[in-house]
């Protein structure tokens, strides 16, 4: 394996009663994610991939395919049912993140693993100013000098194209696109090696979404961060990623180079998905 | 009785060979239509020597672009294999490389210029080419100058360098894509109809640029629907019909004996 920053192995997440026995009878070949025996929902199962520094991996699929479940398990927003998630930057990959306590998982979010959510209210305190949101992330990492914090926050907001005269305004007064830019600034504040982006432009007006998408594209190229981009939108995946997984009913049904998945999808579901998006 | 696993032999290539396509097959299974399979390539063999230019010729639908896309791994291949000698000398099977390694190889050594007249959205011509240079390993401080030199060489009006791609004509987009593919000369360049949308003057300009690339050490596999371009650029020609190689050899030999080829290509 090449150099890697994030590795996911045999990840599974089941909602409801039962363990691995619930998996039988679910998946793409059965056309369902709900266990016929226990009623448990298999959110995702047997998911494996790695992401290298400077690389963006796409995860695409329709609503309910399990892509956001994977993202939330990596982020620590949800417990995994099985599998390992490791960061190269944490004990050189020896520690399964699932074995950490909640406070240890939260600590990772300071400078090891950042998340940009579709809903900015998950990544930001909307009642706090843009600068304050970023300062919160910086102080968690040990920054103490007010001037330095202010300077770094201004630098990040400038890079994410947020007008500096809005730095002290509550994020609740910002447009959707501007909130996503502040989320990006906060996520990148402490230069984490891994960035998770969950539907980062979904719900934005087309022109605003294009601007945010272009900003993410530039930031990924400039920072060298290892990114996982979860989206149902092939335009987002094509713009940001060079490798991609296709998920359906909680499983990876195909993986490959992004241009290959768009031009020569092999799986029947992938072909339907691409055909619906591209004609 | 148990038998020891036979180790897979290390891929090898003859000296001076940069690319070898061996018995390559490609088919398309149309799950979303009726499940039928369409044959694309049927047992294609191809050798590309270092610093040489091999042109793929044949009618539309013969499999020329499919072969380029298989080499670039834009298409998933069936039987057969594709071997490539890296700049460092190591021989790798492109058909077996994992996706990450293939992506890295593309960034470092293999350039592909699509026939489609589309550039990266909402990114200026200069930015597209400069970023391509950085991906190919150029010093970021030099990338802008490299991009400028390449765009100028391909005759892109400087007033268009900073505009959005929607303002570019088809021929301008074609040359911007070519500029991105060659701003740092790749070791292997896959060119799919790079002059199809160009006027005579710009066509001439691109032919000179491609000729210069092989003179400076790149190997090229191309598709041209332009016999004059093939005559001037290619060392060898491979003729495809229905996904099979029906003739190959030096350009002069193939064109001299391929009496129908000129007739087939010229109207296109």
pLDDT tens for residues A69-118? Answer: 999 999 999 999 999 999 999 999 999 999 999 999 999 999 999 999 99
Residue A248 has pLDDT above 90, yes or no: yes
Structure tokens, A189:
């504040």
More confident residue, A131 or B263: A131
Confidence band, pLDDT 50/70/90 cuts, at residue B1: very low
- Name chain B contacts of A277, Cβ cutoff 8 Å: none
- Name chain B contacts of A253, Cβ cutoff 8 Å: none
Alpha helices in B26-167 (DSSP H): 64-72, 99-108, 125-135, 140-153
- Name chain B contacts of A272, Cβ cutoff 8 Å: 31-32
The ipTM value here is 0.89
Residue B231 has pLDDT above 80, yes or no: yes
Q: Look at strands A194-198 and A113-116 and give their pairing.
A: parallel
Can you tell me the distance from the alpha carbon of A64 to that of B2, in angstroms, rounded to the nearest whole number?
Answer: 46
**Helix A146-159 crosses helix A130-140 at what angle (to 10 degrees)?**
120
Can you tell me the distance from the alpha carbon of A263 to that of B67, in angstroms, rounded to the nearest whole number?
Answer: 14
Residue B266 has pLDDT above 70, yes or no: no
- Name chain B contacts of A210, Cβ cutoff 8 Å: 121-122
- Name chain B contacts of A267, Cβ cutoff 8 Å: 31
Chain-chain contact of A2 with B123 (C-beta, under 8 angstroms): no
Burial classification of residue A35, based on how many CB atoms lie within 10 Å of its CB (0-12 exposed, 13-18 middle, 19 or more buried): buried
Q: How many CB atoms lie within 10 A of CB A21?
A: 11
**For position B60, what pLDDT does the model report?**
87
Residue A15 has pLDDT above 90, yes or no: yes
Is the distance from CB of B174 to CB of B117 less than 8 angstroms? yes
Chain-chain contact of A264 with B74 (C-beta, under 8 angstroms): yes
**For position B261, what pLDDT does the model report?**
59
More confident residue, A104 or B117: A104
Q: Rounded to 5 degrees, what angle do the CA atoms A23, A24, A28 make? A: 80
For residue A179, being part of any structural domain is answered with yes
Helix (H, G, I), strand (E, B) or coil at B198: coil
For residue A109, being part of any structural domain is answered with no
What's the average model confidence in pLDDT over A30-49? Answer: 94
Residue numbers of B between 156 and 215 with CB closer than 8 Å to A: none
Dump pLDDT digits (tens) for B138-182. 999 999 999 999 999 999 999 999 988 788 999 999 999 999 999
Q: Is B132 left (phi over 0), alpha (psi -120 to 50) or beta?
A: alpha
Q: Radius of gyration over alpha carbons of chain B, in Å?
A: 19
For residue A181, being part of any structural domain is answered with yes
Q: Out of B69, B76, B121, whose CB is closest to A266?
A: B76
Total structural domains in chain A?
A: 1
> Is B38 in CB contact (< 8 Å) with chain A?
no
pTM score, whole prediction: 0.91
**For position B267, what pLDDT does the model report?**
42
Can you tell me the distance from the alpha carbon of A224 to that of A207, in angstroms, rounded to the nearest whole number?
Answer: 26
Can you tell me the distance from the alpha carbon of A44 to that of A13, in angstroms, rounded to the nearest whole number?
Answer: 5
For residue A266, being part of any structural domain is answered with no
Rounded to a whole number of angstroms, the distance between the first and last alpha carbons of chain B is 61
Name which of A264, A268, A270 to mutate to probe chain B: the one with the most chain B Cβ atoms within 10 A of its Cβ: A264
Q: What range defines the domain where residue A159 resides?
A: 127-191
Which chain B residue's Cα is nearest to A258? B74
Which chain A residue's Cα is nearest to B34? A268
Which chain A residue's Cα is nearest to B106? A242
Name which of B76, B101, B107 to mutate to probe chain A: the one with the most chain A Cβ atoms within 10 A of its Cβ: B76
The Cα of A263 is separated from the nearest Cα of chain B by a number of Å equal to 7
**For position B117, what pLDDT does the model report?**
67
**For position B268, what pLDDT does the model report?**
39
Q: Out of A242, A260, A272, whose CB is closest to B75?
A: A260
For residue A146, being part of any structural domain is answered with yes
Phi then psi for residue A104, to 5 deg, are -70, -35
Task: Return the half-sphere exposure (C-beta side, CA atoms, 13 A cut-off) of residue B140.
Answer: 2
Phi then psi for residue B95, to 5 deg, are -70, -10
Residue B28 has pLDDT above 50, yes or no: yes
Confidence band, pLDDT 50/70/90 cuts, at residue B2: very low
Can you tell me the distance from the alpha carbon of B233 to that of B210, in angstroms, rounded to the nearest whole number?
Answer: 8
Can you tell me the distance from the alpha carbon of B44 to that of B24, in angstroms, rounded to the nearest whole number?
Answer: 5
Can you tell me the distance from the alpha carbon of A157 to that of A162, in angstroms, rounded to the nearest whole number?
Answer: 5
B74, B69, B83: which is closest to B23 by C-alpha? B83
> Is B102 in CB contact (< 8 Å) with chain A?
yes
For residue A221, being part of any structural domain is answered with no
Is the distance from CB of A157 to CB of A188 less than 8 angstroms? no
Chain-chain contact of A256 with B104 (C-beta, under 8 angstroms): no
Alpha helices in chain A (DSSP H): 67-75, 102-111, 120-123, 130-140, 146-159, 176-187, 206-223, 234-240, 258-263, 268-278
Question: What does pLDDT average to over chain A?
Answer: 94
Give the full edge-to-edge strand order of the sheet including B244-250. Answer: B110-113, B188-192, B219-223, B53-57, B236-241, B244-250
Which chain B residue's Cα is nearest to A238? B120
Is the distance from CB of A204 to CB of A177 less than 8 angstroms? yes
Four-residue CA torsion sign, B36, B38, B43, B46:
negative
Is the distance from CB of A198 to CB of A115 less than 8 angstroms? yes
**For position A2, what pLDDT does the model report?**
58
B243, B236, B207: which is closest to B65 by C-alpha? B243
- Partnered with residue B47 across adjacent β-strands are B20
Chain-chain contact of A259 with B74 (C-beta, under 8 angstroms): yes
Task: Return the half-sphere exposure (C-beta side, CA atoms, 13 A cut-off) of residue A173.
Answer: 9
Greatest Cα pair distance, chain A, in angstroms, is 60
Can you tell me the distance from the alpha carbon of A8 to that of A83, in angstroms, rounded to the nearest whole number?
Answer: 8
**Helix B125-135 crosses helix B170-182 at what angle (to 10 degrees)?**
20
Name which of B31, B96, B101 to mutate to probe chain A: the one with the most chain A Cβ atoms within 10 A of its Cβ: B31
Can you tell me the distance from the alpha carbon of A46 to that of A252, in angstroms, rounded to the nearest whole number?
Answer: 8
Residues of chain A contacting B, Cβ within 8 Å: 1-2, 50, 52, 55, 210, 214, 221, 239, 242-243, 255-257, 259-260, 263-264, 266-268, 271-272, 275
Q: Rounded to 5 degrees, what angle do the CA atoms B166, B170, B176 make? A: 80
**Percent of residues, chain A, with pLDDT higher than 90:** 86
The secondary structure of residue B17, as a DSSP letter, is: E
Residue B259 has pLDDT above 70, yes or no: no
Outline where DSSP puts E strands in chain A: 6-15, 41-51, 56-60, 82-87, 113-116, 194-198, 226-231, 243-248, 251-257
- Name chain A contacts of B28, Cβ cutoff 8 Å: 264
Q: Out of B31, B100, B102, whose CB is closest to A55?
A: B100
**For position B262, what pLDDT does the model report?**
55
What's the average model confidence in pLDDT over B62-91? Answer: 96
**For position B4, what pLDDT does the model report?**
59
For residue A152, being part of any structural domain is answered with yes
For residue A78, being part of any structural domain is answered with no
């Amino acid at each position: 394996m090449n150099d890697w920053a994030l590795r996911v192995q045999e990840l599974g997440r089941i909602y409801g009663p039962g363990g691995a026995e619930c998996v039988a009878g679910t998946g793409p070949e059965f056309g369902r994610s709900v266990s016929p025996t226990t009623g448990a929902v298999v959110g995702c199962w047997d998911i494996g991939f790695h992401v290298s520094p400077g690389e963006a991996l796409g995860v695409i699929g329709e609503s309910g395919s399990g892509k956001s479940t994977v993202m939330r398990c990596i982020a620590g927003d949800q417990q995994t049912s099985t599998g390992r998630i490791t960061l190269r930057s944490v004990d050189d990959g020896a520690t399964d993140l699932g074995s950490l306590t909640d406070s240890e998982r939260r600590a990772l979010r300071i400078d090891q693993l950042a998340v940009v959510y579709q809903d900015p209210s998950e990544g930001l305190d909307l009642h706090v100013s843009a600068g304050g949101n970023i300062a919160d992330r910086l102080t968690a990492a040990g920054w103490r000098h007010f001037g330095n914090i202010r300077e770094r926050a201004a630098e990040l907001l400038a890079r994410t194209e947020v007008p500096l005269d809005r730095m002290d305004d509550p994020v609740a007064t910002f447009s959707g696109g501007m909130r996503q830019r502040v989320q990006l600034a906060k996520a990148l504040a402490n230069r984490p090696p891994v960035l998770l982006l969950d539907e980062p432009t979904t719900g934005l007006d087309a022109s605003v979404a294009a601007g945010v998408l272009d900003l993410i594209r530039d930031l990924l190229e400039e920072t060298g961060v290892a990114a996982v981009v979860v989206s149902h939108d092939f335009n987002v995946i094509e713009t940001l990623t060079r490798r991609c997984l296709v998920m359906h009913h909680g499983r990876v049904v195909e993986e490959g180079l992004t241009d290959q998945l768009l031009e020569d999808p092999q799986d029947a579901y992938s072909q339907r998905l691409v055909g619906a998006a591209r004609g | 009785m148990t038998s020891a696993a036979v180790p897979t032999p290390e891929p090898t290539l003859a000296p001076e060979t940069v690319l070898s396509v061996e018995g390559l097959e490609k088919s398309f299974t149309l799950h979303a239509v009726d499940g039928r399979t369409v044959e694309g390539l049927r047992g294609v063999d191809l050798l590309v020597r270092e610093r040489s230019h091999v042109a793929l010729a044949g009618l539309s639908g013969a499999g020329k672009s499919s072969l380029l896309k298989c080499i670039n791994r834009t298409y998933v291949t069936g039987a057969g294999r594709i071997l490539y000698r890296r700049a460092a000398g190591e021989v790798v099977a492109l058909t077996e490389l994992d996706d990450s390694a293939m992506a890295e190889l593309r960034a470092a050594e293999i350039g592909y210029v699509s026939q489609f007249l589309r550039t990266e959205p909402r990114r200026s011509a200069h930015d597209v080419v400069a970023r391509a240079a950085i991906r190919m390993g150029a010093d970021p401080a030099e990338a802008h100058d490299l991009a400028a030199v390449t765009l100028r060489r391909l005759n892109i009006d400087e007033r268009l360098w900073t505009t959005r791609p929607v303002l570019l004509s088809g021929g301008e987009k074609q040359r911007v894509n070519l500029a991105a593919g060659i701003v740092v000369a790749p070791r292997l360049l896959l060119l799919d109809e790079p002059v199809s949308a160009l006027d005579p003057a710009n066509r001439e300009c691109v032919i000179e640029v491609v000729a210069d690339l092989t003179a400076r050490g790149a190997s090229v596999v191309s598709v041209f629907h332009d016999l004059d371009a093939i005559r001037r650029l290619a060392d060898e020609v491979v003729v495809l019909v229905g996904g099979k190689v029906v003739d190959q050899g030096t350009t002069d030999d193939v064109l001299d004996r391929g009496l129908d080829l000129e007739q087939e290509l010229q109207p296109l």
